[in-house]
Structure 1
Amino acid sequence: MSPAGLSPSATTGVAGTGAPDPRLADWDQISGWLHSQGIGPDPGSPVEVLAGGTQNILIRYTHADRELVLRRPPLHLRKSSNEVLRREVEILGALAGSAVPHAALVAACTDESVIGWVFYVMEMVDGFNPAVVVPPRFAENRDLRRDIAFHAMDVLATMGNLDYRSIGLEQFGRPEGFLERQIPRWLRELDSFGALDGYDGVELPGLNQIVAWLGANQPATFRPGIMHGDYHLANVIFSEDDARVLAVVDWEMATIGDPLLDLGRFLATWPSADEPIGIAGPIYRTEGLPLADELVDRYCTTSELDVSAVDWYVVLACFKIGVILEGTHARSCAGLADPAVGARLHGMSQALFRRAERIVS
C-alpha cells in the first residue's frame, strides 16, 4: 500500500529510462536531484505512480533496497500547490520523534526553481487503508474492525495533546480567533458559488438554524493544538497484524487550531443509522463498528481536552464539509467538474446538513 492507502496504478516505469505517463515526464530531472541527495533511485529499479493527476502525485521507487515515495503537486499547478507542500514538509519534519505516527520525511526540495515545483520524499508505509480494502482477517473479525476506529481515536487524542510550540510550530497557524473565523469563512465560500454559471443555488437543510445555533453555542475557550484538518479513515494507514496505526497521511490541510474540530470531522461522517452519509469505502459497509458515543469515550481515555461541547464540533464539521462538497456540485453545474461526481457529493452535502439539523433541533 502507498502512504495514502491507495493501490499502485498500472503505470510502472524504470528509473532513468523515462516513461510514457506524463506524471513521470520529469523523472530524469528528478532523479538527478535524488542522486545529489544520496537517495537514489537504484539503476533499473521500477518506478510506480501510486496515485494522483488532478491531486498531489505519489511516485514509489527504490534506493538501496529501501522503498521510498516522492510526493509532488498535480500536473496542473494550483495557486497554492507549492505552499501546501512546503507546509506538509514543515509539519512532517516537526513530527519527527513525536508520538504521532506518520510517514518519516527523508528529504525535501522546497525551492521550486530546481524542478518547477516543490516536492519531498518520505518513507514507504507498509500497511493497509480500510477505506480502500479490508483484509480478510479484519473482514472475519469484528473486534479487529472495531480496533481500527478505536486506534484512530487514540492517535487523534495523542495529536491533540502534543504541545505544538515544543516541536517548533509556533508560526504554523493562527490559533487566535480560530473558532470565530469558521462560520464567516464557510458562509463566504457558500456565497461564492453563486458566481458560477449554471448553478442557481440549492436549499441546504436547516442552514439558517445551524448557523444561528453555532453562533449561540460556540465554546468560550479552547486549547490550541495541531489539527490534521481532514482526519478520517481514508487518511490513516493501519498494521495488518493488530490494527495499530502506522501513519496518518495527507497533511495538506494541517494547521494550529482547535483539535476538537478533527474529532468533530471524524464523527460527522461516521456511519450512523440516523442519516447515512454515503461515504465510500469497504470499512464503512461492515457491521459492528463502534457507535459515535463509544468513539468519544475512547478519545477521552487519552485526550487532555474537554469534550463536553463535542456536538458543537460535529455540527461545525457537518456545516464545513457540506459546503465543500456542495462546491463540487456547483462546479459540476458550471461544467467544471464531473456531473456524476457533483450529484453524488450534493447528496452527501444534503445528508450532512440534515445530520446537523437534527443535532441542533
Structure 2
Amino acid sequence: MGIDLVLLSGVSYRGQEVAGHRMRGLLALLAGELRTGCGTSRLVDGLWPDEPPANPVKAVQVLVSRARAQLGAGVIASTATGYRLALDEDQVDSSAVLVRAAAGTRQLRAGDQSAALAHAEAGLALWDGAVSDGAGGYDPVADLRSERTAAHRSLVRIRALALARLGRHGEAVDPLTALAAELPRDEEVLLELLRSEAATAGASAALARYETYRRALRDELGIDPGAALQAAYKLLLDGDTPAVRHGVAAEPNQLLGRDEDLAAVAAMARRSRVTSIVGPGGLGKTRLANAVGRNAEQRVVYVVPLAGVATDEEVVRQVASVLGAGELRLAHLPVPPDPLTGIGAALGPGPALLILDNCEHVIGGVAELVQALVSTLPSCTY
C-alpha cells in the first residue's frame, strides 16, 4: 500500500494537489491525530485561531463537505465528537515516517543493520525534513511538519549508524560527522564515527577526535567517556601492532548470502561479552563464526575447535593447549600457571575475541570456562 496523503513535502492526495489554506489545515489536523481523530472544537481552534466563525459547527461541516467532494466521500469519517481520516498509517506520510523511525530503531537494537537501513531510507525518501511552508501566521501544516522533525532526525541517525555497522564507512562518515556536531554527547554516534573515520581518514584522525571529546567531557562534566568509547580508543592505539588470527579458517570460496548474519553477530558481540550462534547441524555455524573472527575489530582472535573433546573436564585443557597456555611461564610464578591462568595470560590484557566451536556436547564445561574468564578478563569477548 502506497502513500495516498502527502503533507510533509507539499499537500496532495493521490497525486492531486490540495488547494485552499483551510482545507490543507483540516487534513493536517486530522493527520496529526490519525487514530483518534479531532473533535469539532479542536478543529475550530486550529482552523480559525484568531476569529472563530459565527457558527463554528456549521463552518467545520461545510469544510468537511468540500474536502469529501474533492478527495472522495470515504476519506473523512464522522465520529461521535468530530471527524477522522479513514486512512491507515502507511497511507499518510506524516504517520509513515513515525512507523519507519520506530521500526528502524527496533531493528538497530536487534542487530539487524540491513533492515534498519531499509526502514531509515524508506522513511527519508518521504521527506527531506524541511519545515517552512511559506504561509503567514499559524499553519497546521507547518506545525505538523515541525512535530515530525524529531522522527526525521531519528531516521538520519538510524541510517548513519546502520551504514557504519555494515562496513560502509565511506558513506557513513559525513552523516555521522554532522550528527556528532548536532548531538555532541551521543556516544553511540561518536563510537561509529571513530570507526568510520579510522577506516577512511586513518587512525590518527579518529584518535584526535576522541581526545577532543575526552577533554571537553572532563572540562564540562568532570567525567570520562563511556566504556565502549574507551575500548575503541584502545583498539585505535593498538592499530599499528600486528593482528593475531590463530586458528581462523581460510575461506575456500566466497561466503554468499550471509552479510546480514555477519552484521547481526558483530553487533551482538559489541553489546554483549558472550554471544552464542545456535542452530541445527549443517547450517554453517562454524563457517559463520570463522568469518566473524576474520573480520573482528579485536586485534587478537583465537578459534578453538572442541569437536574432538569428549568430556566437560577436557574443555579447559583443550583451550589452554590451542592457546599455547601450557608453554607459558609467568615471571612472578615459580611454577607453570594452572590452565585457567595460562589462558588469561595468552589472551592478554587488551581486547580479544575467543571463539569456541562445536560446544553443544560439552556445554557445561564451556559455560564454566566462559564464566570464569568473563569475571577475570574484562576486555575479552566470547
**Which of the five TM-score ranges fits, normalised by the shorter chain?**
under 0.3
Return the TM-score normalized by structure 1.
0.28
Return the TM-score normalized by structure 2.
0.27
